[in-house]
Amino acid sequence: MNPSDPPQKGQVSPAESASRVCSMSSLPLAALNVRVRRRLSLFLNVRTQVAADWTALAEEMGFEYLEIRHLEMHADPMGKLLDDWQGRPGASVGRLLELLTKLGREDVLVELGPSIGQMPERFDAFICYCPSDIQFVQEMIRQLEQTNYRLKLCVSDRDVLPGTCVWSIASELIEKRCRRMVVGPQDVSAHLSAHQKRLIPIKYKAMKKEFPSILRFITVCDYTNPCTKSWFWTRLAKALSLP
């Protein structure tokens, strides 16, 4: 497709793509999904004299000559470039669109504009858990996502891409993209800066330490109580489904 041609149905013009930069300047690069990253690699890994490739983009991102030479050794240098850049100050989806516009890659903006510019994925709840809790988290996914409840949980080990700053992306997800926080009692003290998010504490195993005092006025979903265990998933799903 010629960049001067009018956009096809489902596509956006370079001007429309560029207009999204300001609104997306705070969207972290980790919000780019795998499909978009692969498509970017297909466009920019190709070395050509008539269009800016990933090396030109790397220079605009502030990478030095030796860093770029090191990236050349990777099978997917564009993908590795995105991974390395997203940990640097100023990296965002909006900034990426800005640089692609500056480099004249209108073909990339037209082709991937709808995918890059779409609203980031939203979740019903951010799940705060310890590594030792992963089996229960997997059961939670089965019970709440893969049943008629059809809830969408944000689980860091599954939904946060490698190479991101775990604290900054978790803060972004909790504040802007998740409606609730589900926490185990042992995790509450680490997530007190949950802003205005509604906490839903769960107790799924016997506790060695005293129950945190911060939770004494919040109803707990107790998986250990044999009298109410059969209601556990229904109660939790209803709590997560509230507006």
Stretch among 18-32, 95-109, 117-131, 194-208 having the lowest mean pLDDT: 18-32
Question: How sure is the predictor about 26, in pLDDT bands with cuts at 50, 70 and 90?
Answer: low
pLDDT in tens, 128-170: 888 889 999 999 999 999 999 999 999 988 887 666 666 767 7
Residue 127 sits at the vertex; the CA angle it makes with 123 and 128, to the nearest 5 degrees, is: 145
Q: Is the pLDDT of residue 117 over 60?
A: no
**pLDDT at position 219, please?**
85
The mean-pLDDT minimum among 59-68, 74-83, 125-134, 137-146 falls in 125-134
**Predicted local confidence at residue 163, as pLDDT:** 62
Give the per-residue SS3 of the chain.
CCCCCCCCCCCCCHHHHHHCCHHHCCCCHHHCCHHHHHHHHHHHCCCCCCCCCHHHHHHHCCCCHHHHHHHCCCCCHHHHHHHHHCCCCCCCHHHHHHHHHHCCCHHHHHHHHHHHHCCCCCECEEEECCHHHHHHHHHHHHHHCCCCCCCCEECHHHHCCCCCCHHHHHHHHHHHHECEEEECHHHHHHHCCCCCCEEEEEECCCCCCCCCHHHCCCCCEECCCCCCHHHHHHHHHHHHHCC
Answer whether residue 120 shows pLDDT above 80: no
From CA 31, how far away is CA 192, in angstroms rounded?
A: 24
Report pLDDT for 10.
44
Q: Long-range contacts made by residues 2-5, C-beta under 8 angstroms, separation at least 24?
A: 3/106, 3/107, 3/110
41-48, long-range: CB < 8 A, 24+ apart: 41/76, 41/78, 41/79, 43/105, 43/107, 43/108, 43/111, 43/112, 44/78, 44/105, 44/108, 45/76, 45/77, 45/78
Q: Amino acid identity, residue 154?
A: C
Name the CATH superfamily, with its identifier, for domain 125-241: Toll/interleukin-1 receptor homology (TIR) domain (3.40.50.10140)
The predicted-structure confidence for 211-237, as pLDDT tens digits, reads as follows 667 666 788 899 999 999 999 999 999
Q: What is the pTM of this model?
A: 0.52
* Amino acid identity at 52: A
User: Quick one: which of 187, 182, 189, 179 has its CA closest to 221?
Assistant: 182
CATH pick for 14-117 out of 1.10.1060.10, 3.40.50.1000, 1.10.533.10, 3.40.190.10: 1.10.533.10
Q: What is the mean pLDDT of residues 19-39?
A: 71
pLDDT value of residue 85? 95
* Residues 161, 41: Cα–Cα separation, whole Å: 17
Which comes out higher in pLDDT, residue 50 or 120?
50
Q: Which of 191, 161, 167 is nearest to 84 (CA)?
A: 161
Q: Where in the chain is the domain with CATH 3.40.50.10140?
A: 125-241
User: Would you place residue 18 in the very low, low, confident or very high pLDDT band (cuts 50, 70, 90)?
Assistant: very low
Band of pLDDT at residue 92, cut at 50, 70 and 90: confident
Portions of the chain given CATH number 1.10.533.10:
14-117
Q: What percentage of the chain reaches a pLDDT higher than 70?
A: 74
Q: Do the Cβ atoms of 36 and 125 come closer than 8 Å? A: no
pLDDT on residue 22: 47
Average pLDDT, the chain: 80
Instruction: Locate 158 and state its tokens.
Output: 């599954």
